[in-house]
Amino acid sequence: MNRLEEIAEPFQMADRDFRLELLLEYADKLPPLPDDYTELRDQGLNMVHECQSPVFLMAEVRDGTVHVIGDVPREAPTARAFVSILREAFHGESPDEVLDAPPDALRVLGLSQLLGMQRTQGLSAIYGRLRKQVEEKA
């Protein structure tokens, strides 16, 4: 099973309130941005423009391993949780783990329903950005 699908399992079994709790846990555990990247972030590079919140996201591939580097303000916990989930799923894995993951991450995680059709936009863009960067750098 793909890492993303493993993470999705508890989400799929959860009701609405428990899904929010799971998301909150992920939002809380996104590590601080490494110092080496704060300059890039502060220059406004690698921002996901489709997202209403200032989401910084980069994927790097070094020695065949994916590195997910992201930063999202605490005022945007949903986007923060989603970036944290992607990091949990793909950081330290092979590029194939990203490229073979389901293309509709939001549906797999049961988030489309939670968010409604109007606010999935930024999150889809975040995921699209990650996959594109891994594909280019792999």
Partner 1 sequence: MADYAQPDVLVTTDWVAEHVNDTASVRLVEANEDVLLYETGHIPNAVKIDWVQDLQDDTVRDFIGPDAFANLCEEKGISDDTTVVFYGDRNNWWACYAFWVFKLYGHDNAVIMDGGRKKWVDEGREMTKEKPDFERGSYTAPDAPNVSIRSFRDEVLDHQKKQGQMVDVRSPEEFRGEITHLPDLPEESSMRGGHIPGARNVPWSTAVNEDGTFKSREELEAIYERGEGLDRSSETIAYCRIGERSSHTWFVLTYLLGFDNVSNYDGSWTEWGNLVGMPIERGDAQPVEA
| Residues binding partner 1 (CB under 8 A) | 16, 20-21, 23-24, 27, 50, 52-53, 74-79, 81, 114-121, 124-125, 128
Q: Which is closer to partner 1, CB of 10 or CB of 34?
A: 10
Please state the closest distance from residue 67 (CB atom) to partner 1, in A: 23
Name the helix (H) or strand (E) containing 72.
Answer: none
Please state the closest distance from residue 34 (CB atom) to partner 1, in A: 23
Strand partners, 68: 59
Please state the closest distance from residue 135 (CB atom) to partner 1, in A: 16
Name the helix (H) or strand (E) containing 68.
Answer: strand 65-71
The overall longest dimension of the chain from CA atoms, in Å, is: 41
Q: Which is closer to partner 1, CB of 81 or CB of 98?
A: 81
Residue 70 φ/ψ, nearest 5 degrees: -145, 155
Q: Which is closer to partner 1, CB of 70 or CB of 77?
A: 77
Q: Which is closer to partner 1, CB of 15 or CB of 35?
A: 15
Please state the closest distance from residue 75 (CB atom) to partner 1, in A: 7
CA proximity to 29, closest of 110, 86, 97 = 86
Q: Which is closer to partner 1, CB of 67 or CB of 128?
A: 128
Chain-centroid distance, C-alpha 59? 10
User: Are 111 and 53 within 8 A, CB to CB?
Assistant: no
Please state the closest distance from residue 64 (CB atom) to partner 1, in A: 28
Question: Rounded distance, CA 94 to CA 78, Å?
Answer: 26
